[in-house]
Amino acid sequence: MPTTIAKSPTTTTMMKMRAMRALVNWSDGPRLATTTRYVLASVAMTRNSGLRDTDPLPDAATAALGGRSVVLVGLMGVGKTSIGRRLAARLGLPFRDADAEIELAAGCSIAEIFERFGEHEFREGERRVIRRLLAGEPLVLATGGGAYMDRETRATIRREAVSVWMRAKLATLLRRVSGRTNRPLLNGRNPGEVLEKLIAERHPFYAEADIAVDCSDEPPDNTTAKVFAAIESWRPARRLSLSLSTGSYDVVVGKGLLARAGALLAPVLPQKRAVVVTDDLVAPLHLQTLLDGLAAVAIEARTITVRHGEASKGLATYSSVVGQLLDHRVERKTAVIALGGGVVGDLAGFAAATTLRGLPFVQIPTTLLAQVDSSVGGKTGINTSHGKNLLGAFHQPRMVLADTETLATLPPRELAAGYAEIAKAGLIGDGAFFSWCEANGAAVIGGDADAQAEAVLRACAFKAQVVGDDEREEKPNDGRALLNLGHTFGHALEAELGYGKILHGEAVAVGIGLAFQLSARLGFCNPADPVRVMRHFSEVGLPSEIAMLNRRISGARLIQHMRRDKKVQDGTLKFVLARGIGQAFTSSDVPADAVEALLRDAGCVD
């Protein structure tokens, strides 16, 4: 009778350590080229046999992937390996299966790794394997069902690849996994109950993937064709990174961002709780789409709805919003999401800045004006009886989502008002962009989606550059103050005519015209420049001079409003003037009589 030798705890531990060391060393070791011969020869690695050269990537797929890998995520049984192999052949890319790579590294099956070392050790090795695979040349990678649950792995995939969630119903998955013995999470358990629990736990994380494709019991080639078509048609949103001394955040511009808001925001929110602040005009149009997008990744959201219009940007509504936030029992990690135009963004941002000494904040602007101006840069605030934005705070958002599809719901007047801030960017510091505006401004206001997206992106890029250099408007000259081109006059017009009676962008357009006229009178720019600027604003349907407002306006009262402007320093008015198109600068020594004469000649009464 053979003698049985019991392993001591020390011996068992050493064996575990040697096996796991093999996994760690391999996962951090040489690239795939050094192991290919073993992959193809290994019975355990037959799932990686789709490593062959095929035709080059089709043009549409090449553009969509942008040189990145494709990572398939989803629950066990959805077909990631079989579809991945076919997809790789069609794309002309190598294929790898993360589970198979781990089995080769450890010298045993996934089930054995779970049994010997537990899930935690398995996930450690899995994380390193995926990171190494994606650091190499583009490929198609099938991941295990739990891989995408890991925050670090999701970040790696987000950075290096295009992720595809292969989504299937419970009944489909159950048919595919029943009777299998190579699924550690199913061993000794009821497969239906396990899968149902996994769907509830994992689907909110899978929803962060770039693309989702529904899979059924159809033939694998059909599913592959669906995944391929989804990749071909996928277009990533465009991103700008705004870097500040206190951190950074992205401005995301594109179509359909409301529906994907949860997937985009989940990586940057400290808690899966949020309060959405919106108004009674925007809510019926866009609120449910946003809430559905948040719910897809299990972000619990409450809502606060205010009355639309500039009148809500005051102390009374601010107090109401803060009270409702506290009623919702917000915590310091609960995000405030502003869904609406500039009024909602400024109001919600100020409430977020001051509630519990600061809550995480997200801007989702739905007007052209808000997308290119107020949502970017961290300025928040409300109006008082003394003037516009006199009570406020700098409070940077965690992210800005500019969904250009929301612009389709705006009336032409709102689009034109927002366009004034776009043209302003070119007039401040980018003459070539203003020339682009002259050629494309009518298309932007007319609803051309491509022109609108380009305009939003370029205007935001310009503002991000300026804000990044002077976040809190502290430079004595130029800096962020340049963004106030036209605003000294514009804010005075708003205060005099009544907030909401003239749109902010309309007032800014008139103010820019006045600023260029004043610059020409003082000899700073060519007299042809204000003519060019005002002509362009008129051509796109914006008021370009005071006379076009058809109101009796007192020049003396406008100057009084200007002197209460927050940009006044030591009692001296500060103007943004121009030496030409794209050559703005700040000045504090503008003669008062020059301003009075300008307003008088523009049609103001004493």
Task: List all residues 6 or more positions away from 133 whose beta carbon is below 8 Å from its beta carbon.
Answer: 32, 69, 96, 98, 101, 139, 141
- Catalytic-labelled residue, pool 329, 357, 474, 550: 357
Task: List all residues 6 or more positions away from 476 whose beta carbon is below 8 Å from its beta carbon.
Answer: none
307 in catalytic set: no
Handedness of CA 59, 65, 67, 73 (dihedral sign): negative
| DSSP-assigned beta bridge partners for residue 167 | 214
- Catalytic-labelled residue, pool 85, 202, 272, 379: 379
Residue 589: what residue type?
Answer: D
Strand order of the β-sheet with 140-142 is 95-97, 140-142, 69-73, 161-167, 211-214
- Catalytic-labelled residue, pool 96, 286, 424, 504: 504
260 in catalytic set: no
The Cα–Cα gap between 575 and 597 comes to: 16
The Cα–Cα gap between 501 and 478 comes to: 31
Phi-psi region of 535 (alpha: psi -120 to 50; beta: other; left: phi over 0): alpha
The Cα–Cα gap between 473 and 394 comes to: 10
- Catalytic-labelled residue, pool 438, 471, 473, 506: 473
- Catalytic-labelled residue, pool 80, 286, 458, 480: 480
| DSSP-assigned beta bridge partners for residue 335 | 274
- Catalytic-labelled residue, pool 421, 438, 454, 506: 421
Tokens describing residue 320 = 């109401």
475 in catalytic set: no
The Cα–Cα gap between 597 and 599 comes to: 5
506 in catalytic set: no
What is the four-CA torsion angle of 156, 157, 160, 162, rounded to 10 degrees? -170
- Inter-CA distances, 204 with 166, 198, 268, 351, Å: 13, 10, 15, 29
Cβ atoms of 305 and 279 closer than 8 Å: yes
480 in catalytic set: yes
Task: List all residues 6 or more positions away from 584 whose beta carbon is below 8 Å from its beta carbon.
Answer: 427, 428, 429, 478, 482, 485, 576, 577, 578
Closest C-alpha among 187, 167, 176 to residue 77: 176
137 in catalytic set: no
What is the four-CA torsion angle of 273, 279, 281, 284, rounded to 10 degrees? 20
- Catalytic-labelled residue, pool 308, 398, 463, 561: 463
The Cα–Cα gap between 183 and 200 comes to: 19
Tell me the helix, strand and coil percentages in the chain, rounded to 5. Answer: 55, 15, 30
- Catalytic-labelled residue, pool 383, 389, 440, 484: 484
Burial class, 593, CB count within 10 angstroms (exposed 0-12 / middle 13-18 / buried 19+): exposed
521 in catalytic set: no
473 in catalytic set: yes
Closest C-alpha among 365, 364, 372, 492 to residue 420: 372
Phi-psi region of 591 (alpha: psi -120 to 50; beta: other; left: phi over 0): beta
Q: Name the residues annotated as catalytic.
A: 357, 379, 421, 463, 473, 480, 484, 487, 491, 504
